[in-house]
């Protein structure tokens, strides 16, 4: 009996072959993977997130300013003199 010409099963190759055809088809219809991956990376890192709601941002800034002002009144001037300028 002769040995088989290929030492792997064809079933193992079919998913990779299908994936290669999908990538080839996407390239032929004009999908640019470099732009797609760059867009995904920018979205994940937060550079392309939507700007915050202006009313919510204003309210949050006002709340933090009030907390900061009240905390300054409570603590007084506690800055060490040797650290100033």
Is 19 part of a structural domain of the chain? yes
Rounded CA-CA distance 66/32 in Å is 49
Is 76 part of a structural domain of the chain? yes
pTM value is 0.37
Give the mean model confidence (pLDDT) for residues 71-77: 82
CB proximity list for 42: less than 8 A, separation 6 or greater: 48
Is 30 part of a structural domain of the chain? yes
Is 21 part of a structural domain of the chain? yes
pLDDT at 84 over 60: no
Is 1 part of a structural domain of the chain? no
pLDDT of residue 56: 93
Is 3 part of a structural domain of the chain? no
Rounded CA-CA distance 25/31 in Å is 9
Output the six-digit token pair for 51.
Answer: 């700007």
Q: Please give the tally of structural domains in the chain.
A: 1
Range(s) of the domain holding residue 66: 10-83
pLDDT tens for residues 4-20?
Answer: 666 666 667 788 889 99
pLDDT tens for residues 20-69?
Answer: 999 899 889 988 888 888 888 888 877 777 778 899 999 999 999 999 98
pLDDT at 82 over 70: no
């Amino acid at each position: 009996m002769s040995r088989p010409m290929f030492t792997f099963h064809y079933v193992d190759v079919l998913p990779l072959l299908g994936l290669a055809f999908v990538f080839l088809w996407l390239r032929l219809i004009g999908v640019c993977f470099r732009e797609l991956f760059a867009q995904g990376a920018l979205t994940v890192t937060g550079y392309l997130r939507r700007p915050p709601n202006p009313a919510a941002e204003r309210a949050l800034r006002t709340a933090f300013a009030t907390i900061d002002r009240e905390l300054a009144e409570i603590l007084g001037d506690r800055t060490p003199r040797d650290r100033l300028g």
